[in-house]
Amino acid sequence: MSTAPDAGAAGTATVAAVSVRDVAHVYGRGGSAVRALGPISLDVPAGEFLVLVGPSGCGKSTLLRLIAGFDRPTSGAVTVRGEVPEPGRQSGVVFQQPRLFPWHTVGDNVGLALRYAGVPRAERPARVAELLDRVGLSGTAGRRVWEISGGQQQRVAMARALAGDRDLLLLDEPFAALDALTRERLQEDLRRVGHETGSTSVFVTHSVDEAVFLATRIVVLSRRPGVVTLDLPVDLPRTGLDPDELRGLPEYAALRAETGAAVRAAA
């Protein structure tokens, strides 16, 4: 299936990394049916870091699951680079809990994802090292998952999601269970990884600050069934400022205020 092409920056036609067209999703049937989402339409261009914010139960995870291909929408169409998404094919997913194999090593957890992605065995050790390096875990390939901290486990989950050159990352409140300091470190590293790799990300959070810090675009959803109530480009510098300087910018405060007001209005 193909999507309607958008006009690219240079005027050439490009296919959006993610296209959500008139999508609505209902769980169950009849009297017990739950209208979870939509109708909603969104295009996510390649390289964008889209953050979805909205009240609890508004359908954020549902939208992410549809983009991952875990579910098909009740109506409308979701495509990833013009294809109907299949789990694990076009995107890597990071959940709130890292969901690793605890009895395996860090390297084996990432290596397994490479194996599923069809990377030849001989190439895997170097690719594992490269991926661990990218998420700030150099030299940990031989450690057991139960020996490392929760924050490090979430870094392994990120490395696993990046394996196999899938350039779409879907993250569902990945840092919500971490302490504040670890959460900030991971946010900083994810921001850097997104910028360095040019990967496309869709990230779900309840935190307005996390949204402004990470996003190149913020979308706020209404209460269930979630529809878009704010679609805000975020044009903060991606390099050259440390996190405290970034958070100190007047533009940062303005984006926080605008997003926070939209989230409160939606709740």
Q: Three-state secondary structure along 202-213? A: EEEECCHHHHHH
Q: How far is the CB of 248 from ligand ATP (least distance, A)?
A: 29
| C-alpha span between 109 and 156 (Å, rounded) | 8
- Of 50, 60, 153, 164, the residue at the interface with ligand ATP (CB under 6 A) is 60
> What is the CA 250 to chain-centroid distance, rounded?
26
- Of 58, 128, 161, 171, the residue at the interface with ligand ATP (CB under 6 A) is 58
> Per DSSP, what are the bridge partners of residue 43?
19
Question: Which residue lies nearer to ligand ATP by CB, 61 or 187?
Answer: 61
Question: Which residue lies nearer to ligand ATP by CB, 176 or 236?
Answer: 176
Locate tokens 């989950």: which residue? 157
CA contacts within 13 A on the Cβ side of 144? 4
Taking CB under 6 A as the binding criterion, the range among 11-19, 56-64, 87-95, 127-135 that sits at the site for ligand ATP is: 56-64
Taking CB under 6 A as the binding criterion, the range among 51-59, 100-108, 154-162, 188-196 that sits at the site for ligand ATP is: 51-59
Question: Which residue lies nearer to ligand ATP by CB, 17 or 53?
Answer: 53
Is 57 a binding residue for ligand ATP by CB under 6 A? The answer is: yes
Taking CB under 6 A as the binding criterion, the range among 26-34, 119-127, 134-142, 159-167 that sits at the site for ligand ATP is: 26-34
Q: Three-state secondary structure along 171-202? A: EECCCCCCCHHHHHHHHHHHHHHHHHHCCEEE
Is 62 a binding residue for ligand ATP by CB under 6 A? The answer is: yes
Q: How far is the CB of 38 from ligand ATP (least distance, A)?
A: 11
Q: Residue 45 gets which letter from DSSP? A: -
- Of 59, 73, 111, 151, the residue at the interface with ligand ATP (CB under 6 A) is 59
Q: Residue 97 gets which letter from DSSP? A: S
| C-alpha span between 69 and 181 (Å, rounded) | 33
- Of 5, 28, 87, 102, the residue at the interface with ligand ATP (CB under 6 A) is 28
Question: Which residue lies nearer to ligand ATP by CB, 15 or 220?
Answer: 220
Is 224 a binding residue for ligand ATP by CB under 6 A? The answer is: yes
CA distances, 105 to each of 101, 110, 139, 164, 183 (Å):
8, 9, 12, 19, 23
Question: Which residue lies nearer to ligand ATP by CB, 66 or 106?
Answer: 66
Which residues in 158-187 contact ligand ATP (CB under 6 A)?
none
Within 10 angstroms of residue 134's Cβ, the number of other Cβ atoms is: 18
Nearest to 41 by CA among 77, 16, 5, 3: 77
- Of 3, 17, 51, 61, the residue at the interface with ligand ATP (CB under 6 A) is 61
Phi-psi region of 77 (alpha: psi -120 to 50; beta: other; left: phi over 0): beta
Taking CB under 6 A as the binding criterion, the range among 1-9, 13-21, 50-58, 146-154 that sits at the site for ligand ATP is: 50-58
Binding site for ligand ATP (CB under 6 A): 27-28, 34, 36, 54, 56-62, 224
